[in-house]
Structure 1
Amino acid sequence: MGRKGGGKAGFMKAQMRQKEEVSPPEQDTGPEEAHPATSTPGTTQKEESTSTTSAKASAFLVDDGPEESVGERPSVSCGGETRGKMLQRHKREAKSLKEQVKRLGKKGREEAAALQQALDAAHQQDLEAMARAEEESMSQGMESLALGPGAAPPGGEALKPTKAQRKRQQRAAAEAEREARIAAELADADDSLRVQEEEAMSSTLGPLGLAIHEIAPDGHCLYRALEHQLDLQDGSGAASFQELRRLAAEHMRTHANDFSPYIAEDDVTGPVEDGEVFEAYCKEVESTAAWGGHLELQALSQALGKPIKVWAAAAAPQLLGDEHPGPALQICYLHHAYGLGEHYNSLVRVVKEESEGAASVSGDE
């Protein structure tokens, strides 16, 4: 998939992504603070240090919004917080933690690691609680439908539901129907966008004798797509996607003046040490599954000495490195291919055999 953000000069992002209005994040208190650890007789200095770090970690997990009482926070088990709101809160907490880690500096590396671990654990607990709540809600709904109002439970006598119970059942049924309708509409909308994009891409590539070669959506899709193109042109094993990542990062470092102006701190997903945003970005390019984009394509075109042509459904094809000789490495950019959005695939040439009505693929330009 393509890097979300991917530098300020991202060509596909500039041409394809529509501006979305973002509503202000809802205030949330974040996970509850843990009680400070107290020292007991026999406790070692190392254990006391660990306890202190854990207490600080819990304190950093509180969201930076206005303070609310514990009772005001929606209970996941009671359905007070939807999954969407929970994920929004997680994002705010992660951003807040990133700012806290930046203030700690080099001396606070161990504490920063503890903070991150505590936040990940708290988020995992939230997700598990949400999954249990959803499962329980579904189970209760199925049981209610199976028994019906006033039906007798196993081994018991038929009970007439009270007026309050009937109202609760009616509200629950109406809410379940509404949620199901919204989910279906969202699914249809997403599928519609994906289908429309695929049809537009096929209508563009088909007359040119080109077809899509699927690449796994694992965060390395841009590099894997170029790896496939290099295999088609130069033979199998020309360069692995890991080697392409290292090559892109090294080229960006040696040509920092060409790339660093287009990289902001928001483009780095991990902590930034001593304000070294550009170096942190390069490290993510070479050693993580961070998504690639326009900057990485530029770096690889220059480092490989090959032109790269990027096809898209809603924009004219973009050719990078047209000063280099030889056929271009051809990939395509899809904005709605998967749930996470942006994705890169490789392209192959389709050669039709009229006598048999079959088709074969070729990597030639």
Structure 2
Amino acid sequence: MDELLSKHRKEQKDLQGRITQKKKSATKKTRRGINDDCERMQRELNERHQTEIAQLNGEPLEPVEALEDLNLDDEAPADIESNENKTPQDAEPTPNPAEEQPTQTKKPNRQKARLARRAAEQAAAAEAAAEEAANQTNYRGDEKEVMDAVFKKLGLKEIEVNPDGHCLYSSVAKQLDDSGLGLRPDPSRIVLQPTTQSRIDTVASPQHDGYRAVRAVTADFIDQNKDDFEAFMEEPLDVYTRKIKLTAEWGGHLELQAIARAYGVEINVVQSDGRMEKFEASDMDSFDEEEKRKRVIWLAYYRHSYGLGEHYNALTKQS
């Protein structure tokens, strides 16, 4: 029994790890289905464990169908009535228990039998589901393989960035600093708010807290060009820009477009399927070739390889 319980504890721990991984990779569209799937997995594992314990204790897994509605304590009504009308002299002699053959068997526990049968059926379904899951596509491994092939083809080197919700802005901040452009955009492109200027001035290290400055610049640019962005928002402009500036809300297409225009850069995003998406300012043709090369930012966008879900890493050209 100790060995079985130890095995059950390990399986519960492994399942919790899988459930945590699945929930972290959920999106708004898939979250409900993933939660249902996780609840099903936990329920099926619990029921399989109950079945294995029942088997180890020698409890039956299948009820005896003929006994399903049998009550061994019932007597025929006519026999009960006739016995009640008999005098003690007329009553049949009490049989000697030692002479009874064969010995009466113990009444089966129908409820336990039904539970064990149901648990066995669910355990079989869980095994089938596990086998099906084992044959599913390895999204994480495939994604990494595709990305590495693209990096090699384009001569890019990947730089890991903390998966903390600020990854997009941290990746941009590092490359702005490395290229010499800096975190303060050209005043002709954007009028910085005093709080944004303060964030830029107090950045200790672009690689570690530069995201604060890039977030503030992005929020200011969207606010000052709301006609270009507001139609694509699902919430009021002030709420949207406040999240960009003050929280760890993930960035996406709108933010990438705002960053490209605010800093006058071209942003190339390598996708998990090998495609590349480009965001750039409208006046890139005004720069000479050397300046254009300086104003290119590379990002790697992952969907499956990180526990929190979507993630950006910085990319640089190999020397």
The answer to whether TM tops 0.5 is yes
Deviations 1:49-91 (A, max 9, x none): xxxxxxxxxxxxxxxxxxxxxxxxxxxxxxxxx951899xxxx
1:68 alignment partner in structure 2: none
2:138 alignment partner in structure 1: 192
Kindly indicate whether residue 113 of structure 2 is the aligned counterpart of residue 166 of structure 1. yes
Per the TM alignment, residue 249 of structure 1 is displaced from its structure 2 partner at its CA by 0.6
Q: SS of the residue aligned with 2:305?
A: strand
Q: Provide closer, same or farther for how the CA distance between residues 311 and 220 of structure 1 changes in structure 2, counting only shifts above 3 A.
A: same
1:303 alignment partner in structure 2: 262
213-222 vs 278-287, which moves further: 213-222
Q: Provide closer, same or farther for how the CA distance between residues 311 and 3 of structure 1 changes in structure 2, counting only shifts above 3 A.
A: farther
Partners of 1:146 and 1:167 in 2: CA distance: 17
Mapped contact 2:264–2:295 kept (Cα < 8 A): no
2:232 alignment partner in structure 1: 262
Per the TM alignment, residue 338 of structure 1 is displaced from its structure 2 partner at its CA by 3.4
Aligned pairs for 1:1-365 within 5 A: 83-84=35-36, 140-141=50-51, 143-149=53-59, 162-183=109-130, 185-186=132-133, 189=136, 192-234=138-180, 237-238=205-206, 240-265=210-235, 277-314=236-273, 316-321=275-280, 323=284, 325=292, 326-338=294-306, 341-350=309-318
Structure 2 unaligned blocks of 5 or more: 1-23, 61-105, 183-203
Q: Provide closer, same or farther for how the CA distance between residues 177 and 246 of structure 1 changes in structure 2, counting only shifts above 3 A.
A: farther
Partners of 1:327 and 1:83 in 2: CA distance: 43
Mapped contact 1:2–1:344 kept (Cα < 8 A): no
Partners of 1:170 and 1:2 in 2: CA distance: 35
Deviations 1:84-127 (A, max 9, x none): 1899xxxxxxxxxxxxxxxxxxxxxxxxxxxxxxxxxxxxxxxx
Q: Provide closer, same or farther for how the CA distance between residues 194 and 135 of structure 1 changes in structure 2, counting only shifts above 3 A.
A: closer
Structure 1 unaligned blocks of 5 or more: 6-19, 27-81, 88-129, 151-158, 266-276, 352-365
Partners of 1:287 and 1:342 in 2: CA distance: 20
Q: Provide closer, same or farther for how the CA distance between residues 2 and 327 of structure 1 changes in structure 2, counting only shifts above 3 A.
A: farther
What is the TM-score with the length of structure 2 in the denominator? 0.55
Partners of 2:116 and 2:178 in 1: CA distance: 62
Q: Provide closer, same or farther for how the CA distance between residues 288 and 134 of structure 1 changes in structure 2, counting only shifts above 3 A.
A: farther
Mapped contact 1:252–1:282 kept (Cα < 8 A): yes
Deviations 1:249-272 (A, max 9, x none): 11111111121122123xxxxxxx
Deviations 1:268-299 (A, max 9, x none): xxxxxxxxx11111111111121110110111
Partners of 2:36 and 2:146 in 1: CA distance: 31
Q: Provide closer, same or farther for how the CA distance between residues 192 and 301 of structure 1 changes in structure 2, counting only shifts above 3 A.
A: same
Mapped contact 1:4–1:291 kept (Cα < 8 A): no
Percent identity of paired positions between Structure 1 and Structure 2: 30
Q: Which structure's CA Rg is the greater one?
A: 2
Partners of 1:85 and 1:2 in 2: CA distance: 13
Q: SS of the residue aligned with 1:299?
A: helix
Q: SS of the residue aligned with 1:216?
A: coil
4+ residue runs over 4 A deviation: 1-5, 133-139
Q: SS of the residue aligned with 1:337?
A: coil
Partners of 2:57 and 2:230 in 1: CA distance: 65
Partners of 2:114 and 2:205 in 1: CA distance: 66
What is the TM-score with the length of structure 1 in the denominator? 0.49
